[in-house]
Structure 1
Amino acid sequence: MRTTVRQAARATVQLARAAVLAFGTYLFVTVLLFTAAVTLLLVGAGILPETVLLVRRIAGSKRRQVAAWTGREIPEAYLPVTGTLRTRLRTVVRDPGTYADLRWMVAHYVYGCLAYLAVPLWVVGLLVDGVRCGLLRRKAVVLPLIGRLADLDATWSTALLKPSPKARLAERVEVLTETRAGAIAAHGAELRRIERDLHDGTQARLVSLSMRIGLAKRMYDADPVAARRLLDDAQDQAEEALTELRHVVRGIHPPILTDRGLAGAVRALAASSGLDVTVTVTGLADGDDGGGGRAGARAPAAVEAAAYFVVAEALTNAARHSGSERAGVRLDRTVAGLRVRVSDEGRGGAEGALASPGSAAASGLEPGGSGLLGLRRRVAALDGSVVVTSPVGGPTLIEVELPCVW
């Protein structure tokens, strides 16, 4: 009986919250919508976006209530209401989530009254179930109905509030539009970096090399010793130009990925980072043998390159800015793709840098597509996700999910 009463009490609290929200729904439908309709005629359509945003907040409150009761989140899919008034109006009218919320609100206007049945059920339950459990030693039959009412409210709300396929598609298109813009920006920044490196470094050295060879040809007959000295300098210039070209190529696709695979390439990064780095690899081909790798799988080349640059950027930031002497890198093959985790025990603060591109001091974030911002754009271009946990005082954890087919 005690367990039944506790369960009924918990369900009653849930139903009480639903009742409060239902009462608010009644007021909204009967008063606010009427007022909005009148205002719409008198003031204009400018109030419509704000009304829709209010409906979203009410629906979001119901989603949180249901999630607290069932333990399962109800996803939401809305188009962002931003821009000019005309754009905002077009967004709320075309957003499938708007009509889903309105359908739920109308239905909740009807089934929300179920919450008020908890009061008479308590009265009857204490009498009937008290006799059945206390005297007849039988199971309670009335109080459990309160929990079933809460389940019914949650089931109907979930069915009405979960995004429709059309709403998910609209949200997906919005996300892809944003990631495409980020990918284009990252690609443009990468091209500018390559052009700058070639123009300021390699091209300048090649010009100097050509001039030295020309001078050596002119001086060869008159002063062979000076000509030989110029040719030696030209050879040094050629070697430096090759070194810079290798650096540019590594920035596009590191050859070590092809030779040793992601695991071997990451271990090489860890060894040259200046930190005490622990590398853990699960389910991937390990390139330590210098060949094709031991048992495991290889991710697609684009995914391996993204993971490599994630680790490179994270270790560089940790070495330069965290103040930590140790770091950890973990590569895991998952059902959906590849997970990369990089952690350090430093001073933290990278969360604020990720949110504010101008604050580079804490995490090495730089404007123009480099740093953590460039990392996030590179991952988003592959439909991946980046989560940075780095409170002030540390520690810092960067977790990246890269979807792929194995």
Structure 2
Amino acid sequence: MRKAIKEAVRAWLPLTIGAAISLLCLLMVAVVVPFTVFLALTVIGAGALPESVLLLRRLAGWERRRTAEWTGTPVPEAYLPLEGPLPARVRTAVTDPGTRRDLIWAVAQFLYGLLLWFVSLVVWVPALLVDGVWTGLAGRRPVALPLIGRLAGLAADWSRALLTPTPSVARDAALAARIEQLTVTRAGAIAAHGAELRRIERDLHDGAQARLVALSMRIGLARRAYDSDPATARKLLDDAQTQAEEALAELRHVVRGIHPPILTDRGLTGAVRALAASSGLEVAVSVTGLGDHAGEGPRAPAAVEAAAYFVVAEALTNAVKHSGAARASVSLTREPAALRVRVRDEGRGGAEAGENSGSGLAGIRRRVAALDGTVRLTSPAGGPTVIEVELPCVW
């Protein structure tokens, strides 16, 4: 009997919450929606329409989560994004099929939410008195109490049926979300490309160009002093040779920033092992499905390899500069349609990926997003910090 009562209480609580949501739906349908329409008709208050639609979406989202918790199956949602200037947001709020679907659910929820809750109250009294006494006398399990569970299941089924978008609407919403995502990643790729060009220009101007100008001046001075002061000319030529070597080193540094030659020479696996060896940390490198050298095993596209190399280099640099870690691990995994990179350091944690964090993680996100990849950062206080990157590619 106690077990049956606990199960009934567990089923009755969602019905009670559903009744509370029904009252909120009544407030939404009877007060908020008419008032919003009135404001929208006055033109001055048109901005209230998208905000009311967002409020309705949050209410429907709450019901989706409750239904998913009760049934164990997620309830999909599909909305057009409410973004852009005010006229576009108002037009989207009015024409989005999700708005009409949520309004229909709100009206129905007000009706069946309260109805099922009142029915559950009617069931409780005979269930506890008549069924409980009969169970105690006859030694049989309760008969009426499971009805409350059925009522909760019925409410969840109705909510799922009303809130689940049609396949065509789901496809349209997914397409709109994809377009929005591609717009953001394209903007990030353009920003990353611009930043890269500025870095190359700065490195050439401040490094190689300055050294080449000084080299030209020293060669000119050496030519003038060649006949009158050979010793000075020789010293100037020695200095010019040193500056030429430094200029070449600067140019190699710039080239490595564009596409590290080590990727061509050793492949991604060899390049990552070289990064690990020169990082100053104790780094364990594991590779699955890739060759150890260039030309051995499958190769990802050059852009994917460069992005993966940059991720590992930036993550290990962060570990040295910010985390205080002594050990780290790097794993490269070939998957059917992607390259997965995972870098873990045993530092103090607390890493942030904001644009102004100064850790370089924002640059990782931009570079990976340009290839339609994903980045997951886990860095609790006290560590460890784990960066997981998935780069789509065709092998």
TM-score (ref. length: structure 1): 0.82
Instruction: Give the 5 Å matches for 1:324-335.
Output: 324-335=325-336
Change (3 A) 1:338 1:94: farther
Q: For the residues of structure 2 that align with 1:169 and 1:398, how far apart are their CA atoms?
A: 29
> Cα distance, 1:103 vs. partner?
4.0
Match of 2:356 among 340, 355, 358: 358
Number of positions where the alignment pairs a residue of Structure 1 with one of Structure 2: 388
Q: C-alpha deviations, 1:110-140, integer Å up to 9, x for none?
A: 5434454434455566656986898486x87
Q: For the residues of structure 1 that align with 2:284 and 2:195, how far apart are their CA atoms?
A: 31
Give the aligned residue type for 2:388: E
> Cα distance, 1:174 vs. partner?
1.6
Equivalent residue, structure 2, for 1:150: 152
Change (3 A) 1:7 1:402: farther
- Is residue 372 from structure 1 mapped to residue 361 from structure 2 by the alignment? yes
Deviates more, 1:178-187 or 1:22-31: 22-31
- Is residue 254 from structure 1 mapped to residue 260 from structure 2 by the alignment? yes
Q: For the residues of structure 2 that align with 1:154 and 1:304, how far apart are their CA atoms?
A: 48
Q: For the residues of structure 1 that align with 2:227 and 2:136, how far apart are their CA atoms?
A: 117
Equivalent residue, structure 2, for 1:201: 207
- Is residue 182 from structure 1 mapped to residue 213 from structure 2 by the alignment? no
Change (3 A) 1:231 1:284: farther
- Provide the secondary structure at the position in 1 that maps to 2:191: helix
- Is residue 172 from structure 1 mapped to residue 178 from structure 2 by the alignment? yes
Contact 1:133 1:140 in 2 (8 A): no
- Is residue 276 from structure 1 mapped to residue 276 from structure 2 by the alignment? no
> Cα distance, 1:84 vs. partner?
5.3
Instruction: Give the 5 Å matches for 1:3-152.
Output: 5-41=5-41, 44-78=45-79, 81=82, 85-112=86-113, 113-122=115-124, 135=138, 143-152=145-154
Match of 1:400 among 386, 389, 394: 389
Q: C-alpha deviations, 1:148-204, integer Å up to 9, x for none?
A: 443443344345435621122222222221121111111100110011111111122
Change (3 A) 1:76 1:223: farther
> Cα distance, 1:372 vs. partner?
1.5
- Is residue 389 from structure 1 mapped to residue 378 from structure 2 by the alignment? yes
Give the aligned residue type for 1:308: Y
- Provide the secondary structure at the position in 1 that maps to 2:296: coil
Match of 1:285 among 257, 266, 290: 290
Contact 2:37 2:49 in 1 (8 A): no
Contact 2:280 2:320 in 1 (8 A): yes
Change (3 A) 1:254 1:154: farther
Equivalent residue, structure 2, for 1:367: none
Unpaired stretches in structure 2, ≥5 consecutive residues: none
Q: For the residues of structure 1 that align with 2:334 and 2:162, how far apart are their CA atoms?
A: 36
Deviates more, 1:23-32 or 1:166-175: 23-32
Contact 2:343 2:387 in 1 (8 A): yes
Q: For the residues of structure 2 that align with 1:149 and 1:57, how far apart are their CA atoms?
A: 24
Q: For the residues of structure 1 that align with 2:338 and 2:118, how far apart are their CA atoms?
A: 48
Q: For the residues of structure 2 that align with 1:134 and 1:246, how far apart are their CA atoms?
A: 92
Q: For the residues of structure 1 that align with 2:334 and 2:310, how far apart are their CA atoms?
A: 17
Q: C-alpha deviations, 1:293-340, integer Å up to 9, x for none?
A: 35xx43332222222211211111111111222222233334552332
Give the aligned residue type for 1:36: T
Equivalent residue, structure 2, for 1:232: 238
Contact 1:96 1:167 in 2 (8 A): no
Q: For the residues of structure 2 that align with 1:63 and 1:321, how far apart are their CA atoms?
A: 42
- CA-based RMSD of the aligned residues comes to 3.2
Deviates more, 1:32-41 or 1:263-272: 32-41
TM-score (ref. length: structure 2): 0.84
Unpaired stretches in structure 1, ≥5 consecutive residues: 365-370
